[in-house]
Amino acid sequence: MKHLVTGAAGFIGSNIAKELIKNEEEVIGVDCFTDYYSRDLKERNIKELKNNSNFKFIEADLLKMNLNELLDKVDYVYHQAAQAGVRSSWGKDFEIYSRNNILLTQKLLEAARKSKELKKFVYASSSSVYGDTDKLPMQENNRLQPVSPYGVSKLAGENLCYLYYKNFKVPAVSLRYFTVYGEGQRPDMAFHIFIRAFLKGEKINIFGDGKQSRNFTYVSDIVRANILAAEKAPAGAIINIGGAGEGIKLNEAIELIQELTNMKTEIIYTDKVKGDVKHTSADISKAEKLLGYSPAVKFKTGLSKEVKWLKSIYS
Ligand SMILES: NC(=O)c1ccc[n+]([C@@H]2O[C@H](COP(=O)([O-])OP(=O)(O)OC[C@H]3O[C@@H](n4cnc5c(N)ncnc54)[C@H](O)[C@@H]3O)[C@@H](O)[C@H]2O)c1
């Protein structure tokens, strides 16, 4: 089978590509190395992949490519390319989010519509489509009210997937990821920032009181959910993908990082940032029912793997 992974040099895309290659599948990976974070980290993500003859890497901006040609004879698309990050999605940068998250998804779906071979188009959506809600755990049929422009852009992508399915039978599926962590995690994400700070003895800034909680999902669980969705999810479905790290407060995660790194650092509490939600919590019963998915990696195990990976970079 032939698989296309967009955003293949990024955190999640590179992990999906690695798993597919491990399964001896043929993979095309596309990434343009946006400047949101260092190229060096992304190069590390795909270093080994590039040595594998089943992996073809294309460095290009998908918005400038001939997507009909790209999708030719592709069986499965895992659409991970996006401008990620909640906090930087305000103001003039929303243009980047509109282009890379909304326009790009629409263009890929147009190409998917013309494809004869495509079996599934798996879209990386986000728990940020829910926004701040008292209705926890978050269920797929909750009212959707994102509180960040990023969340709005991811929801627009998800809605586009659904309407291309409804109108043109594009076999699109959206997976709403809940905060993903593990090897390759983006350097703007909390655990990466905290672990690096512990390792380097730098101060940690917490936005808010640290009592905000998240469902944390280890990256191999997200990867498995993508592959299960490609195989099994009914076209048009929208499915939460959460992890074993349910209801973990930021302060608790920091204590665990302190234990795992066996180091100490100073923690400073500052004002909450606009766009951050207080709690996320995933109802994953739909994923269990449709995909046979349940998270396999315990929070402490996953976090210790991320610590080990970051030690190899920063220690
Ligand atoms: N990391 C999380 O916790 C999380 C949570 C929910 C949803 N998501 C979604 O998962 C996906 C992957 O996130 P990530 O954390 O791996 O982010 P990432 O930034 O590490 O990866 C995205 C990659 O897409 C590439 N890209 C962006 N626009 C492109 C374009 N026009 N052409 C080619 N390449 C382009 C970037 O260079 C980057 O390498 C995103 O769609 C994100 O919105 C992530």
Q: Which CATH architecture has domain 2-184+217-244+281-296?
A: 3-Layer(aba) Sandwich (3.40)
Assess whether the C-beta atom of 174 lies below 6 angstroms from ligand 1: no
- For residue 272, pLDDT beyond 90: no
pLDDT tens digit sequence for 77-114 = 999 999 999 888 999 999 999 999 999 999 999 999 99
Task: Tell which atom from ligand 1 comes closest to the C-alpha of 82.
Answer: 27
Residue 43's CB is within 10 A of a number of other CB atoms, namely 12
**For residues 38 and 50, what is the distance between their CA atoms, to the nearest angstrom?**
18
Domains of the chain, by residue range, sit at 2-184+217-244+281-296
Tokens read off for 196: 């690096």
Residues β-bridged to residue 218: 181
Assess whether the C-beta atom of 4 lies below 6 angstroms from ligand 1: no
With a CB cutoff of 8 Å and minimum separation 6, the contacts of 85 are 36, 150, 186, 188
Report which protein residue has its CA nearest ligand 1's atom 34: 31
Q: Which residue has the tokens 């999640």?
A: 12
Report which protein residue has its CA nearest ligand 1's atom 23: 7
pLDDT tens digit sequence for 163-196 = 999 999 999 999 999 999 999 999 999 999 999 9
Q: What are the backbone dihedrals phi and psi of residue 204, each rounded to the nearest 5 degrees, phi first?
A: -110, 130
Active site amino acids: 150
DSSP for 244-293, please give it.
Answer: SEEEEEHHHHHHHHHHHHT----EEEEPPPTT--SB--B--HHHHHHH--
**Closest to 170 measured CA to CA, from 293, 289, 76, 29:** 76
**Cα(50) to centroid(ligand 1), Å:** 19
